[in-house]
Amino acid sequence: MIANVIVDVASQNTNRPFDYEIPEKFEGIVQPGVRVIVPFGPRKILGYVISLSETSSFSSVKKITDVLDVIPTLTQELLHLGKWLSNYTLSYYISCLQVMLPQVMKAKYRKELWKLSDEPLDSALDAVFDGRGVMDFEEFEQSGISYHILRKHMNEGEVDVHYEVKSRETKKLKAVVAPAVSPIDMEEKLEDLPPQAKKQRAIVEYFLQQPEPLDKKRLLDHLQTTPAALKPLVEQNVLKEYKQEVFRDPYGGREFKRTTPFTLTDEQETAIRPILSTIEKQEHDVFLLHGVTGSGKTEVYMQSIQQVLDKGEEAIMLVPEIALTPQMVERFKGRFGSKVAVLHSALSAGEKYDEWRKIQRQEVQVVVGARSAIFAPFTNLGLIIIDEEHETSYKQEDRTRYHARDVAVQRAKTHHCPVVLGSATPSLETYARAAKGNYQLLTLSKRMNEAVMPEVELVDMREELHSGNRSMFSIPLKEKIEERLARKEQVVLFLNRRGYSTFVMCRDCGHVSECPHCDIALTYHKRQNRLKCHYCSHEEPMPEKCPECESKTIRYFGTGTQKVEEALQELIPEARIIRMDVDTTRRKGAHERLLTQFGEGKADILLGTQMIAKGLDFGNVTLVGVLAADAMLNLPDFRASEKTFQLLTQVSGRAGRHEKSGEVVVQTYTPEHYSIELASTYDYEQFFQEEMKLRKAFRYPPYYYLTLFTISHPNQLKAEEATRKITMFMQQKLSGQAHVLGPTPSALARINNRYRYQCMVKYKKEPEQRKFVERILHYYEDEMKQENGLQITVDFQPYQLM
DNA sequence: TTGGTGATGCAC
DNA sequence: TGCATCACCAAA
């Protein structure tokens, strides 16, 4: 039998299966999806068996060296999905297979030098061996001994270079103690024990009562003793001690309050019915659950999942990374108990691996996780849910540039099951599809418990400035914060850190310099003191005064959380503030700890970035402040308005979720901007209409699809030249309907001393496009291999345009 | 991607 | 001529 193997070498020439003979001892074990170690050239590497065949067209096949799995790591479905993913993202098959698995399952390679004879070698070499038989090859390289000497010894058969493939997987073990002899022998032993050996007696007595193996630590704790008492018993073979694998449980030792399904409101009932019937009929369909914040989307998800579980099938629920708050986990663990696995980036590599294996062993039926959880190795998927569907974290922005939504639909098609996309502020793409009838639209327009959306007050910061307030806190916001402090209520203050010092605005009239061709804020380039558009090649000098009102207060913008915290403390000295940003939450568990503190009322104000915009549910929060609503609005991104609207809506949803009603203060320099104005009245529909007009006029999604080439090279001219060629090639090959823009310097014009240029394709339908892109990549293959050569990345449907 | 191979160039 | 470095190519 022959195994067709995808090897762990990401390159153009190896992006196809290699044939290996299956040695007799591995017959029946080697099957599609199993990881194997195979000889490849002079070394040994990891590979994935994708299929078996009777014969090979290749004349001299080598044998599989070793097999790493008993159960296949990848299911047949995931192998196919990987193939699809590699076509869809134009990346190597091996990269796609790796992206579906936990990090620890990637191989670790070691190159070693082995000494084979006892004879003395070259004295310098012997000195490095220092009496050992094996050393890391790196040690040899660092010793500076010439390869000549090595070669000579190798020819003599005295040393050899050895390649090791190691799995990074580590299994956590715990010590277990169990009786090694029969109860009768134990009783005998008990009598033999000297009377002063009280602790030993206690241990033996314990096992006489209950002979089951027991965790060593628990045994010692239970009997209030130490390993010293256990040791003689093990040595005399009365008891035995051995290691047993335990699954790391990130939520171990925690009690989750069981919850039962709520009675659905009429609206929820109407929304869930089509989902349930699709699950029942085993059909594929995509639903958009459009529900205002606090409308009980989660309950609809959970009851849909329940239906899937009742049928004996499994469900995946994706949530954005930052929304995977303990509160969310609690709700799922509370409802589904041990049927749930949780996968997100805050888990350690080992924890992720163990959660993943729970899925693989079919020990759980529900996965709640971030983007990559979409690859959960379930075999009977009955439902996929993507919560906060509009979140950009569902798009992977490196190597295998996939969108979890697309993968979800792909998997759901194979499993004949529905996909539910949920959001209070759906992405325009999704809402447009729902409006066209491609997706089924389900709406929840009312908050639960008859709560109303909090009142939003827009504060015009230009007026604040005119009245002499130069601080970042408006008078109304300051007053309202003080009011809450007096009432012992809590405040959430939100600051966008994105958009730091990049856009230019007039502090007097709010005028923002925009590109005349793109309706996008210009980016300020400090070095040349010029404004540039990041989509087309437009640029202009940084204005001395506002072109609109001639004021001289025009300048670039940006503020960090730390500065805000200091200013706030100065403004309201008695306030107890918790700051949450990348700096304060870097440490493991810090995120959760800070939130718990806030929840327990140990602080009055929670100040933070994006990460506090989602999922928080604290009843005592009655005021939410947005410090700079414009910050995001002026990013060089055609989705800037959409993101602003989404963010303001999400943040507003944090206030007044329970009995106490909430209030929101939004500070802005452009209160008249449609995305800010419409967010303040929670008018999604109107916002959608407005934004769609612009998208249409400027040929952006959902009217057009985008393909973004980013080309970089240490030499600016080279980068630009290659981009120009690519642009021209695409222009030539694509139909007249496509718009090919470029070459344009990237918004991040230089990273790591590489100059970056872009080419953007806007198109409606170009079925041949991938072929042309492949030709480009093939054409530049050689130049891309060089270390300091060209680098070309292609992103189909990019989210990150920088 | 890695490592062996043959070509090339430099110092003696 | 000997040795180091480099570009190239194959990997089952």
Gap from A788 CA to C6 C1', Å: 15
CATH 3.40.50.300-classified regions of chain A = 266-449, 455-501+558-694
Residue A161, nucleotide of least CA–C1' distance: B3
**Predicted local distance difference test score (pLDDT) of residue A324:** 64
Token pair listed for A545: 């005064």
**Predicted local distance difference test score (pLDDT) of residue A783:** 85
Distance CA A685, CA A435 (A): 11
Residue A4, nucleotide of least CA–C1' distance: C12
Burial of A495 from C-beta contacts in 10 A (0-12 / 13-18 / 19+): buried
Name the residue with the least CA to C1' distance from nucleotide C8: A782
pTM of the predicted structure, to 2 decimals: 0.89
Token pair listed for A368: 């709640």
Distance CA A233, CA A609 (A): 58
**Predicted local distance difference test score (pLDDT) of residue A235:** 92
Distance CA A722, CA A705 (A): 23
A506 is in an annotated binding site: yes
Cα A719 to chain centroid distance, Å, stands at 30
Gap from A149 CA to C1 C1', Å: 19
Angle, to 10 degrees, between the axis of helix A590-599 and the axis of helix A326-336?
90
Render the burial of A9-37: b for 16+ CB within 10 Å, e for the rest. Answer: beeeebbebbbbebeeebeeebbbbbbbb
CATH 3.40.1440.60-classified regions of chain A = 2-101
Residue A42, nucleotide of least CA–C1' distance: B3
Matching residue, tokens 């639903």:
A287
Cα A745 to chain centroid distance, Å, stands at 28
CATH architecture of the domain covering A705-795: 2-Layer Sandwich (3.30)
Residue A785, nucleotide of least CA–C1' distance: B1
The CATH class that applies to domain A266-449 reads alpha beta
A518 is in an annotated binding site: yes
Q: What is the DSSP string of A148-201?
A: HHHHHHHHTTSEEEEEEEEE----EEEEEEEESS-HHHHHHHHHHS-TT-HHHH
A417 is in an annotated binding site: no
**Predicted local distance difference test score (pLDDT) of residue A404:** 98
Distance CA A748, CA A792 (A): 15
Gap from A45 CA to C4 C1', Å: 29
Distance CA A9, CA A624 (A): 51
**Predicted local distance difference test score (pLDDT) of residue A755:** 85
Distance CA A142, CA A148 (A): 15
Gap from A147 CA to B10 C1', Å: 19
A536 is in an annotated binding site: yes
Gap from A127 CA to C6 C1', Å: 30
Name the residue with the least CA to C1' distance from nucleotide C7: A786
**Predicted local distance difference test score (pLDDT) of residue A557:** 64
Token pair listed for A38: 């195979």
Q: Pairing relation of β-strands A314-318 and A366-369?
A: parallel
Residue spans of chain A under pLDDT 70: 322-325, 497-502, 518-520, 526-527, 534-537, 557-560, 562, 582-583, 586, 615, 751-753
Distant-in-sequence, close-in-space partners of A249: CB < 8 Å, separation ≥ 6: A351, A354
Residue A109, nucleotide of least CA–C1' distance: B2
Residue A11, nucleotide of least CA–C1' distance: B1
* Nucleic strand B under 7 Å from the C-beta of A9: yes
Q: Which window residues (754-793, chain A) lie with Cβ within 7 Å of strand B?
A: 785
Residue A40, nucleotide of least CA–C1' distance: C11
A759 is in an annotated binding site: no
Q: What does DSSP assign to residue A514?
A: B
* Nucleic strand B under 7 Å from the C-beta of A11: yes
Residue A219 β-bridge partners: none
Tell me how long chain A is: 802
Residue A60, nucleotide of least CA–C1' distance: C12
* Nucleic strand C under 7 Å from the C-beta of A14: yes
Does the domain at residues A455-501+558-694 carry the CATH identifier 3.40.50.300?
yes
Distance CA A288, CA A436 (A): 12
Distance CA A540, CA A517 (A): 13
Gap from A26 CA to B1 C1', Å: 28
**Predicted local distance difference test score (pLDDT) of residue A325:** 67
Gap from A164 CA to B8 C1', Å: 34
Q: Which window residues (473-512, chain A) lie with Cβ within 7 Å of strand C?
A: none
* Nucleic strand B under 7 Å from the C-beta of A14: yes
Residue A10, nucleotide of least CA–C1' distance: B1
* Nucleic strand C under 7 Å from the C-beta of A788: no
CATH 3.30.70.600-classified regions of chain A = 705-795
Q: Which helix (H) or strand (E) holds A240?
A: strand A239-246
Q: Pairing relation of β-strands A663-668 and A621-626?
A: parallel
Gap from A258 CA to B3 C1', Å: 58
* Nucleic strand B under 7 Å from the C-beta of A13: yes
Q: Which window residues (286-325, chain A) lie with Cβ within 7 Å of strand B?
A: none
* Nucleic strand C under 7 Å from the C-beta of A543: no
* Nucleic strand C under 7 Å from the C-beta of A11: yes
Positions on chain C within 7 A of a protein C-beta: 3-4, 8, 10-12
Positions on chain B within 7 A of a protein C-beta: 1-4
Backbone phi and psi for residue A602, each to the nearest 5 degrees, phi listed first: -80, 0
Gap from A433 CA to C2 C1', Å: 72
Distance CA A653, CA A606 (A): 15
Distances in Å between the Cα of A324 and the Cα atoms of A252, A295, A343, A396, A612 are 17, 19, 9, 17, 11
* Nucleic strand B under 7 Å from the C-beta of A111: yes
Residue A62, nucleotide of least CA–C1' distance: C12
Cβ neighbour number for residue A762 with a 10 Å cutoff:
18
Matching residue, tokens 């729902």:
A434
Residue A423 β-bridge partners: A290
Gap from A160 CA to C1 C1', Å: 29
* Nucleic strand C under 7 Å from the C-beta of A215: no
The CATH class that applies to domain A2-101 reads alpha beta
pLDDT digits (tens, 9 = 90+) for A248-262: 888 877 888 888 899
Q: What does DSSP assign to residue A451?
A: -
Q: Which window residues (43-72, chain A) lie with Cβ within 7 Å of strand B?
A: 43
Distance CA A654, CA A647 (A): 11
* Nucleic strand B under 7 Å from the C-beta of A163: yes
* Nucleic strand C under 7 Å from the C-beta of A49: no
**Predicted local distance difference test score (pLDDT) of residue A424:** 95
Gap from A45 CA to B8 C1', Å: 32
Gap from A720 CA to B6 C1', Å: 36
Residue A17, nucleotide of least CA–C1' distance: C12
**Predicted local distance difference test score (pLDDT) of residue A708:** 96
Matching residue, tokens 């079925």:
A767
Gap from A793 CA to C4 C1', Å: 36
Distance CA A622, CA A492 (A): 8
Gap from A146 CA to B12 C1', Å: 19
* Nucleic strand B under 7 Å from the C-beta of A154: no
